């Protein structure tokens, strides 16, 4: 009898959650705001960077045109407008055009951080209610681009219906089940662990995902499975090397030290040595360029106009790629990759060939007339 009453109570909680649909407490406008993944909250490494993105538990939300990347300071930004941090395990709301109700936010996904052929920020979420029926939970996360997000709302994991179904649902999500995280406060406690230490665990879990990925292929083609495993391991090694060179300890500081607040109320912060006059003017006018997000990929950028090229910059040969590293000053690996790319497209220094002149001997020792 008691079990039936408990089941009826659970069904009632589910019904209340389905019916509940309010405006987001923290609105988000993709046209005026910018979400930047915070690597300090890194929660997953993709087994295949070409097919998946880097996941983080939280993002920093700035006003577009009012934020700049601090040069040579990984994960640091300067802004003269309001900004905030958004953490996962909250309700994520979508714009009316999607005709979707609020869902449970699991994490943020940056598709372009370690991939050269993709870009864009997404949210990963679970549809509500988490318990579709008795002893049946939703296990299929959905990816949605940030342009379709209208805002976020905090949840109380100790209140109904979350206290009954949140942990049960998160135990089926690897990024939460592996570190045993089941509440928003647990995410904050987890981030107190040094990022370098957490990356070791993320790499171990990623190798487990790689083993699962190639296990099915082994039954069909052993050599193909071995080749795929080697490729995945090589890509993971490259990502780990890049993370080590950031370095990770630069992110193990308080958020107040990583975001420089400028403008009214912060007169001393208005004149940092790295802030040049054009950037200061653009920041105050609200026309500052998008801050440089941490990225390992060397992207193909449009060539500058011919008039802007200096006299020492000859035009590139037809069919060659132009690589630019101007926007990646905070990533040490990029200098190496750009130089390697330039080597591949034929930008090596060559010495001029020796030419015969009159009176000089040729290979046979005879004078050239």
Is pLDDT at 170 greater than 60 in this prediction? yes
Band (118; pLDDT cuts 50, 70, 90):
confident
Least confident of 21-30, 74-83, 157-166, 269-278: 269-278
- Other C-beta atoms within 10 Å of 319: how many? 6
DSSP class of residue 122 equals: E
Q: What is the arithmetic mean of pLDDT over 5-14? A: 51
The residue-averaged pLDDT of 218-227 equals 87
pLDDT at 185 > cutoff 90 = yes
Higher pLDDT, 42 or 131: 42
Those residues whose C-beta lies under 8 Å from the C-beta of residue 115, and which sit 6 or more positions away, are 49, 50, 53, 297
pLDDT tens sequence across 322-337: 333 333 333 333 343 4
**pTM summary value:** 0.74
Band of pLDDT at residue 4, cut at 50, 70 and 90: low
Strand pairing class (67-69; 77-79): antiparallel
**Lowest-confidence range among 28-32, 37-41, 108-112, 352-356?**
352-356
Q: Which residue do the tokens 């200061």 mark? A: 280
Q: Does the N-terminal peptide bond of residue 247 adopt cis geometry, omega within 30 degrees of 0?
A: yes
pLDDT classification of 13: cutoffs 50, 70, 90: low
**Report for 5-14, 24-33, 348-357: range of highest mean pLDDT:** 24-33
Average pLDDT, integer, range 173-189: 95
DSSP string, 167-236: HHHHTTSHHHHTTT--SHHHHHHHTTS-HHHHHHHHHHHHHHHHHHHHHHHHTT-HHHHHHHHHHHHHHH
Burial 289-318 (b: 16+ CB within 10 A, else e): eebbbbbbbbeeeeeeeeeeeeeeeeeeee
Helix, strand or coil for residue 333? helix
Q: Are 26 and 152 in contact (CB under 8 A)?
A: yes
Q: Which residue has the tokens 């988490």?
A: 130
Residue 277, pLDDT score: 82
Q: How confident is the model at residue 274 (pLDDT cuts 50, 70, 90)?
A: confident
Q: Dihedrals φ, ψ of 126, to 5°?
A: -115, 135
Q: Which residue has the higher pLDDT, 274 or 56?
A: 56
Spans of all domains in the chain: 2-192
The pLDDT, as a whole number, for residue 114 is: 87
Q: Residue 365: what pLDDT?
A: 56
Mean residue pLDDT of the chain comes to 78
Q: What is the mean pLDDT of residues 76-104?
A: 94
Inter-axis angle of helices 195-218 and 222-244, to 10 degrees?
170
The band of 286, judged by pLDDT with boundaries at 50, 70 and 90, is: confident
Note the pLDDT of residue 364. Answer: 56
Task: Please compute the mean of the pLDDT values over residues 136-155 and round it to a whole number.
Answer: 89
Average pLDDT over residues 18-22: 59
Which parts of the chain fold into alpha helices (H)?
Answer: 2-19, 162-170, 174-177, 184-190, 195-218, 222-244, 255-258, 277-285, 332-344
Mean pLDDT across the stretch 198-225?
A: 91
pLDDT the model gives residue 3: 53
Residues 66-85 have pLDDT tens digits of: 999 888 888 899 998 999 99
Average pLDDT over residues 267-288: 79
């Amino acid at each position: 009898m008691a079990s039936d009453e408990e089941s009826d109570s659970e069904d009632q909680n589910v019904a209340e959650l389905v019916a509940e649909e309010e405006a987001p407490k923290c609105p988000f406008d993709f046209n005026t705001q910018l979400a930047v993944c915070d690597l300090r909250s890194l929660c997953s490494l993709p087994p295949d960077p070409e097919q998946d993105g880097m996941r983080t538990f939280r993002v920093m939300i700035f006003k577009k045109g009012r934020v700049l990347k601090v040069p040579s300071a990984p994960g640091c930004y300067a802004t003269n407008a309001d900004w905030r941090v958004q953490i996962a395990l909250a309700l994520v709301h979508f714009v009316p055009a999607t005709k979707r109700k609020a869902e449970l936010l699991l994490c943020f996904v940056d598709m372009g951080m370690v991939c050269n052929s993709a870009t864009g920020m997404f949210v990963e979420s679970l549809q509500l209610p988490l318990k579709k029926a008795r002893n049946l939970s939703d296990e299929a996360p959905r990816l949605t681009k940030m342009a379709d997000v209208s805002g976020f709302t905090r949840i109380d994991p100790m209140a109904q219906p979350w206290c009954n179904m949140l942990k049960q649902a998160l135990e089926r999500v690897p990024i939460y089940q592996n570190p045993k995280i089941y509440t928003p406060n647990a995410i904050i406690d987890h981030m107190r662990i040094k990022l370098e230490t957490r990356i070791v665990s993320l790499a171990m879990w990623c190798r487990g995902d790689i083993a699962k990925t190639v296990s099915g292929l082994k039954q069909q083609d052993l050599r193909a499975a071995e080749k795929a495993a080697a490729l995945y391991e090589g890509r993971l090694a490259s990502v780990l090397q890049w993370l080590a060179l950031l370095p990770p300890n630069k992110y193990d500081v308080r958020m107040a030290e990583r975001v420089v607040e400028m403008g009214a109320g912060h007169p001393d912060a208005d004149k940092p040595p790295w802030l040049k006059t054009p950037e200061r003017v653009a920041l105050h006018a609200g026309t500052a360029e998008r801050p440089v997000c941490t990225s390992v990929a060397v992207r193909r950028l449009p060539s500058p106009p011919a008039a802007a090229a200096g006299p020492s910059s000859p035009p590139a040969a037809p069919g060659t790629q132009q690589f630019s590293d101007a926007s990646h000053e905070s990533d040490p690996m990029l200098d190496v990759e750009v130089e390697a790319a330039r080597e591949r497209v034929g930008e090596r220094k060559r010495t001029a060939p020796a030419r015969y002149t009159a009176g000089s001997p040729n290979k046979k020792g005879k004078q050239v007339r």
